[in-house]
Amino acid sequence: MKKISLLVLFSLLLSSIAISQSPSPSSRQGAPNMPADGKVSGKIIDGSTNQPVEYASIAIYRERDSTLVTGVVTDATGNFVLENLPYGKFYATVTFIGYKKSKLGGIQLMPNQKVSTLGTIKLDPSSTALNEVVVIGNGNQVEYKIAKKVVNISQNIIASGGTVVDALQNTPSVQTDVEGNLTLRGSSNFTVLIDGKPSVVSGSEALQQIPAGMVQMLKLLPTLRLNTMQKVVQVLSM
């Protein structure tokens, strides 16, 4: 079974953008029979501390009609790479909970210029809000480590026939109701990323569709940046 990974961003006061999954190959191409081998890369850092920003969302849009082409999230070092892009002119947006949205234009990909390097992009902290970001990631059913909690779904026999929401029912700080709606420390406002790309289906609805049997482990990892507490929830499958 193909591996999938999901990342869920929870926010107490702000929501990050919800972008759809990558379109089909036919919708990604700028013109019929044109190769989609362009690449855009860069690095996202905090504008105040110059520290890398992990899990920031980067989305690429066509300049002519603002159609979404694809998206990705930054890694632990703040770096990102978007590959298999069609030729044409584009702009990019960068968003993350607790920071102001950034827009970058002038991105052009051509047969003789297949790579566009955006360099280092600084995000300015937002003046609003204390947020929370938690990580649920991939492998003892509940294990506590420094600043993180690991829930091993693969050892949860009760939840094996249910969904990710069922598997999270007995997890501290996570609440679910009879209809399968999930909240984390009182917040039900979150976005789901599939294979590092934002999904059009978000919230509890998305988690209700993921069989727990496909998930190995959940990691709850709080991070604190610029007095902004965040929670990132990452789910990795078997």
What are the tens digits of pLDDT across the range 205-224? Answer: 777 777 766 666 665 544 44
Q: Return the pLDDT at 174.
A: 73
Model confidence band, residue 165 (pLDDT cutoffs 50, 70, 90): confident
Please name the residues in contact with 180: beta carbons below 8 A apart, sequence gap of 6 or more.
163, 165, 204, 208
Spatial separation of the C-alpha atoms in residues 170 and 16, rounded to whole Å: 27
Is residue 211 packed enough to be buried (19+ CB in 10 Å), middle (13-18) or exposed (0-12)?
middle
Spatial separation of the C-alpha atoms in residues 86 and 196, rounded to whole Å: 20
User: Does 199 or 95 have the greater pLDDT score?
Assistant: 95
User: Does 35 or 67 have the greater pLDDT score?
Assistant: 67
Beta-bridge mates of residue 61? 68, 91
pTM: 0.51
- Alpha carbon of 19 to those of 4, 30, 57, 64, 120: distances in Å? 18, 20, 9, 19, 23
Model confidence band, residue 115 (pLDDT cutoffs 50, 70, 90): very high
Q: Return the pLDDT at 29.
A: 41
Is residue 147 packed enough to be buried (19+ CB in 10 Å), middle (13-18) or exposed (0-12)?
exposed
* Largest Cα–Cα separation, the chain: 57
Spatial separation of the C-alpha atoms in residues 85 and 67, rounded to whole Å: 13
Strands 148-151 and 228-237: unpaired
Task: Tell me how many helices (H) and strands (E) the chain has.
Answer: 3, 16
User: At CA 190, angle to CA 177 and CA 196, rounded to 5?
Assistant: 125
Q: Which of 50-59, 80-89, 93-102 reaches the highest mean pLDDT? A: 80-89
The label of the residue with tokens 């988690």 reads 207
User: Does 180 or 102 have the greater pLDDT score?
Assistant: 102
- Alpha carbon of 68 to those of 55, 58, 63, 75, 210: distances in Å? 19, 11, 10, 21, 25
pLDDT at 23 over 60: no
Q: Return the pLDDT at 56.
A: 86
Domains of the chain: 5-13+129-237 (2.170.130), 25-123 (2.60.40.10)
Q: What is the mean pLDDT of residues 103-116?
A: 91
Beta-bridge mates of residue 10? 190
Which three-class secondary structure state does DSSP give residue 25?
A: helix
